[in-house]
Amino acid sequence: MATKAEALAALDAGYRGFREPIAALDDAAYAEPWLGTWGLSQCLAHMEGWYREMTAAIERVGRGERAAPEGVDYSSADTWNEKFALQARSGRAALDAWDEAYRGYRDAASALPDTLFGDDAEKGRPLIGNRLLQSAGIHHFEEHQPELEKWLSARK
């Protein structure tokens, strides 16, 4: 698994690749459905919501605490996604909020010690820093990039 520098570079590459093609869209484009019933506003809001949740998780891990607070269950992603999508902002305000949440998420990850990135040989899985960047960040870009590109191509 990736070192901290490699994980942050992959996160940044995904962010740039997702953001660049939507940067010039007008406000009306954000309401066009392309991800099931969601438009760009809802897609960005759900990603923003995960960034904010995982920023707090990263900060807890940095303090030596567990990532999820006591009593919080992230296993029902659909429930969380719907909650986040309901908080969508209209038009380019959605992009601004998404950018802000991404910066906080990225900054929190950058502040984690390098020792929290890489592989856990005993457990046979990536360390927590990698898992937190993969789940809410890198995976989101990989998941939604093809759908985004298909929608943008259809708009031409």
State the CATH number of the domain containing residue 26. 1.20.120.450
Q: Are 80 and 29 in contact (CB under 8 A)?
A: no
Between the two ends of the chain, the Cα-to-Cα distance in Å is 38
**Is the pLDDT score of 1 beyond 70?**
no
Tokens of 77: 């992603």
The domain tally of the chain equals: 1
The amino acid occupying position 42 is Q
pLDDT in tens, 79-120: 999 999 999 999 999 999 999 999 999 999 999 999 999 999
- Domain boundaries, position 131: 4-155
The structure's pTM equals 0.95
Per DSSP, the residues of 60-127 read: HHHTTS-SSPTT-----HHHHHHHHHTTPPPTHHHHHHHHHHHHHHHHHHHHS-GGGSSEETTTTEE-
Mean pLDDT of the chain: 96
Closest CA to 49 of 97, 7, 4, 96: 97
Q: Are 47 and 97 in contact (CB under 8 A)?
A: no
